[in-house]
Homo-oligomer: A and B are copies of this chain.
Amino acid sequence: MKKFVNDPKDYVPQMLKGIELANPDTLRYVPEYNLIMRADAPRHDKVSIVQGSGSGHEPAHVMSVGKGMLDGACPGDVFAAPPSDYVYETAKLLASDKGVLLLVNNYTGDKMAFEMAQELAEADGISARTLFIDDDVAVQDSTYTVGRRGVAGNFFVMKAVGAAAEAGADLDEVVRIGEKVNSVTRTLGIALTACTPPAKGAPLFELGDDEIEIGVGIHGEPGRRRAKIMSADAIVDEFLGAVVPDLPYSSGDDVALMINGLGGTPLSELYLLYGIAHEKLAAQGINVRRSYVGEYCTSLEMAGASLTLVKLDDEITKLLEAPAEIAIRVF
């Protein structure tokens, strides 16, 4: 294993410490719960937004904390759900007078941790709700899920509920918006390589030198099928062939298009895929109004990408356009 790491058990804490040190004015690190939180949270004039899930998906979710996005993220270890008491303590610490929304990518471990935390928080009189994200069209049930998995599309849910909360929406309204965005968001992922969790020290699965996994999950879990490596044009056809008919997205629709890197794929390839997808959508009469190219939800250093579509209306567009400030900055 060649990684920048000390003792693998310090991988997550040392990453979190780095995030805090890089954002001294805006973020705080609470080691007891693996928590990265806004320095000004909780703000009692807004609903607090919290997300967890395993580590190894950065910038989701610890680098997505900030004004207009998450108030806090309390991940577990690499590819492991956070313990429910991390989530419970985080909910208690961050809940505002307007309540707290717990966002959960639909994986069984995360679901259990967050539902238990919500119950405990509610028993303490905290107004808490849970919202599950399940944008992955690849498979119905999966290695770690009942129902569909939540993957890179969770960015759009975070962004929309973050903006709504910042604008003062109450908890019911924030939940309504999150469910609405999730309901019009669809993703498919394709892996070119496996990835190596630091504590395991070996690749999570085997993929031949000329093989790709179509519909891969963000922990390397199987998708729809293995295939031989194909051209970028054919890859985009795989993406769109799975995603477009699923909602479906139709001629005349306005959409946001995200090409998300899974960790080991360079920006050049992501923009190449983006351009092809944009034009193929245009040829179907589907109008790309907002573009997202880069890393939003990764699987450590896995080479690969996912494609996400979001059907836009005025309400969603406005929420996606709203300013936000997070750990990942260009300047």
Contacts and interface: CB of A to CB of B under 8 A. Distances in A.
Interface string A210-246: 1010000000000000000101110100000000000
Nearest to A266: B263
Contacts of A321: 331
Interface stretch (A117-125, A144-152, A298-306): A298-306
Identical copies of this chain, number: 2
Interface string A260-299: 0001111111111111101100000000100101110010
Contacts of A210: 2
A79 B59 CA distance: 28
A30 interface: no
A20 to B, nearest CB: 8
A72 interface: no
Interface string A106-125: 00000000000000000000
Contacts of A331: 159, 320-321, 323-324
Given A193-B2, A275-B18, A331-B324, A266 B303 contact: no
Interface string A1-43: 1111110000100111111111100000000000000000000
Interface string A163-205: 0000000000000000000000000000011000000000000
A217 B246 CA distance: 45
Contacts of A291: 21-23
Contact of A272 (B5, B295, B298, B324): B5
Contacts of A298: 266-267
7 contacts: A4-B192, A5-B272, A15-B275, A19-B271, A320-B331, A321-B331, A324-B331
Given A14-B272, A23-B291, A264-B303, 16 more contacts: A4-B232, A5-B231, A5-B232, A5-B269, A14-B276, A15-B268, A18-B270, A18-B273, A21-B274, A22-B271, A22-B293, A264-B264, A294-B330, A301-B303, A324-B330, A328-B330
Top-6 shortest CB links A-B: A18-B275, A18-B271, A22-B291, A4-B269, A18-B274, A17-B275
